[in-house]
Amino acid sequence: MVRVTDVKYGELQLQGCLKVDEHTFNEFSRRYTPKQGDIIITRVGTYGITARVINTVFCLGQNTAAIIPHSINARYLYAALNSAQLRYQIDGSAVGSTQKTLSLKCINALQIPRLGELQEAEVAELIGSLDDRITLLRETNATLEAIAQALFKSWFVDFDPVRAKMEGRAPEGMDEATAALFPSTFSDTPQGPVPGGWSMEPLSDVMDFKEGPGIRNWQYTNSDEGTRFINIRCIQDGDLTIETANRISNEEANGKYAHFHLAPWDVVVSTSGTLGRSAIVREEHLPLMLNTSVIRFRPVTGRTVFSFLYQYLNGGEFLYKLESMASGSVQKNFGPMHLKQIQLICPTFPVLEAYEDLCRPLYEKIIANRTQAQTLATLRDTLLPRLISGQLRLPELSEHISA
């Protein structure tokens, strides 16, 4: 069953859908089962987010709806629904003081700009090609991330190389030089067995972390010349969305808050409300600063490496500790005082260097792909209003973008 939270940035997150039995599926599908080419739109809370249906079977939760294209190019309709013109209509149609809701009546009343069949097909092809390239980059990144994650689990959670050597086997998929870095025994500790020569260390000894300062509303500036600072809502799907981030004056940013500036390859983690959302700071995000409810992490030189730090902060052990140690009855909060209580298994530094040699290129590719995807998304969002309004025609533009 697809819920509002399963529709994100044009993609259905079906792996996280609520599983239902056959009876419930039939009940929810009684009126309509989404088909390929349909468009799913969210109606409550985070309303107006859309995603295309591609070759899958699911039913809709009550806070989502299916838009069924009739006598209109489905990809053009999808593009139009994501244009500034339609966003303005959608925002004006949603009602509710506590939680905004987009009714089915309002969805049916949306006015879709029409351009003629041929021109709509051209817009659909161009915008669709940009969307497809962005999707491919995201899928590639998911694969690269899965590789780094699987290697982290094998080496540092399941200790596969250590267990293989204990059994007299060569560690699978590992050259002799790397295998020689791993011990062939375990040592008992109060926290459980640890590979021989590895140790339990305070997180604060191997990771440098800093919490944001708590910038107040009255310090915000409307000037585009100010310096952006992040909060929880800027951390989305493993990346930073800073276009709507608030700003403070450059004087304050470079004065009393100078030590809260972020740098490339910093990892930022949300520590209030939705705990544990993380992102890697990219060069193009800068200048950028921390704010409250976000903690910045960096490796301590000679004690850990980026790839290990990032995977640990996104792993089950750390996320479990976030949830179990966080304080607050209404909204959970996690801060430096909690981090100082955490201990983790630290491999010898040569093992960490070997992991970094394998995984750092994966993250460099991920960062490059995110930058390219953002460039394509900016191009799409710049062109779309002009295309939908008919101000811009396509033949020469399509050739340039396809090159």
Which CATH number belongs to the domain containing residue 255 in this structure? 3.90.220.20
Are residues 43 and 81 located together in one domain of the fold? yes
Cβ contact 64:43 at 8 Å: yes
Are residues 256 and 379 located together in one domain of the fold? no
Is 188 a domain residue?
no
**Cβ-based neighbours of 174, under 8 Å, separated by 6 or more:** 161
**Cβ-based neighbours of 160, under 8 Å, separated by 6 or more:** 154, 171, 172
**C-alpha span between 348 and 253 (Å, rounded):** 38
Are residues 133 and 252 located together in one domain of the fold? no
Are residues 281 and 381 located together in one domain of the fold? no
Nearest partner of 276 among 243, 212, 321, 215, judged by Cα: 321
What tokens were used for 63?
Answer: 């806070």
What tokens were used for 4?
Answer: 């509002």
Own/partner contacts of 360-367, CB < 8 Å, gap of 24 or more, are: 360/305, 360/306, 360/307, 362/144, 362/145, 362/147, 362/148, 362/307, 363/144, 363/148, 363/280, 363/306, 363/307, 363/310, 365/140, 365/141, 365/144, 366/141, 366/144, 366/145, 366/280, 367/280, 367/282
Is 208 a domain residue?
yes
Cβ contact 206:342 at 8 Å: no
Are residues 237 and 293 located together in one domain of the fold? yes
Is 335 a domain residue?
yes
The domain boundary residue, chosen from 301, 331, 346: 346
Is 125 a domain residue?
yes
Are residues 9 and 98 located together in one domain of the fold? yes
**Which CATH number belongs to the domain containing residue 53 in this structure?**
3.90.220
- Supply the range of the domain harboring residue 58: 4-112
Instruction: Give the model's pLDDT for residue 148.
Output: 97
Is 360 a domain residue?
no
Are residues 327 and 211 located together in one domain of the fold? yes
Instruction: Give the model's pLDDT for residue 2.
Output: 58
Is 123 a domain residue?
yes
Number of domains within the chain = 3
Instruction: Give the model's pLDDT for residue 35.
Output: 85
The domain boundary residue, chosen from 96, 112, 128: 112
Q: What angle do CA 101, 104, 106 make, to 5 degrees?
A: 75
Are residues 123 and 18 located together in one domain of the fold? no
Per-residue pLDDT of the chain (403 residues; tens, 9 = 90+): 555 565 565 556 555 556 767 777 777 777 778 888 888 888 888 888 888 887 777 778 778 888 888 889 999 999 999 888 888 999 998 888 778 898 889 988 999 998 889 888 989 999 989 999 999 999 999 999 999 999 999 999 999 999 999 999 999 989 999 999 999 999 988 878 899 999 999 999 999 999 998 888 888 887 778 999 998 889 988 899 998 889 999 999 999 999 999 999 999 999 888 888 999 999 999 999 999 889 999 999 999 999 999 999 999 999 999 888 887 767 788 889 999 999 999 999 999 999 999 999 999 999 999 999 999 999 998 888 888 887 766 655 555 455 4
pTM, two decimals, is 0.85
The amino acid present at 284, given as its one-letter code, is: E
Nearest partner of 80 among 104, 45, 48, 33, judged by Cα: 48
Are residues 53 and 132 located together in one domain of the fold? no
Are residues 297 and 278 located together in one domain of the fold? yes
Are residues 376 and 301 located together in one domain of the fold? no
Is 157 a domain residue?
no
What tokens were used for 22?
Answer: 């056959």
The amino acid present at 160, given as its one-letter code, is: D
Nearest partner of 125 among 317, 356, 383, 308, judged by Cα: 383
Are residues 107 and 126 located together in one domain of the fold? no
Is 387 a domain residue?
yes
